Amino acid sequence: MRGRAFSNSRSAVISLLLEQGVLSRAAIARLTGLSRAAISLSVTELIDEGLVREIGTSDSTGGRKPVLIRLGGDAKLVVGVGYEGNACHFVLVNLDGEVINRLVMPDSLPQNPRQIVAMVSRGVWTLLIGYPPKTLLGVGVALSGQFNALTDMFASLIWKIEKYPFAAFSKKRWMCRSLSSTMPMRRASVSFG
């Protein structure tokens, strides 16, 4: 089992690649202050897992040309879910942001939180037919309301939900990491329609 330093270096690699797009191992080590060995080990394992890929080399300032890496690939998939009108829209994308599949469940307005989770679960697992369950990296659900990350409670006047532990309940159903945020919503680069 790996220690906290290994976990921190993996997180640092992923965070920097999300922020910067393309970097070399040396640049990641320099930006994080972590050792090149720790970064190299993390990057190698992330490549083996299909989360990171090598995309070429950069100009050298002396010595070997640095190998550039970025997030991407088909080893992990993400599902986005949103309600529009009386329909629930799903989109399955790879780590390159390429749409793999779409699904629309018309006339599907749930009446309570458990029905929301059940419907989203049906859609998620329908999109993942033919993929191993561990392929699912995460599920993002857009609902009108407020989520308190400190208490793990969701509330919505529109959905008539006072308090519901949406993230914890959904994590059990989808068997993947639940990421929560209280950031303002921005228009996604992938459309549901």
Taking the chain, what is the end-to-end CA distance rounded to the nearest angstrom?
Answer: 43
For 145, the enclosing helix (H) or strand (E) is none
Mean pLDDT of the residues in the chain: 80
Residues 6+ apart with CB under 8 A from 46: 10, 13, 14, 52
Query: Residue 163 above 70 pLDDT?
Result: yes
The string of pLDDT tens digits covering residues 16-26 is 998 898 999 99
| Residue 171 pLDDT | 64
For residue 22, the model assigns a pLDDT of: 93
Cα-flanking dihedrals φ and ψ of residue 150, to 5°? -70, -35
pLDDT band at residue 69 under the 50/70/90 scheme: very high
pLDDT in tens, 109-158: 777 888 888 888 899 999 999 998 888 888 888 878 888 878 878 888 87
Domains and CATH numbers, the chain: 4-71 (1.10.10.10), 77-174 (3.30.420.40)
Q: What are the CA-CA distances from residue 36 to residues 27, 30, 31, 51, 151 (Å)?
A: 9, 8, 11, 19, 38
Average the pLDDT over 42-61 and give the result.
90
Mean pLDDT of 1-5: 49
* CB-CB contact of 24 with 65 (8 Å): no
Measured distance CA(55)–CA(37) in Å, rounded: 20
Residue 92 pLDDT more than 70? yes
In 3D, which of 181, 147, 182, 183 has the Cα closest to residue 165? 147
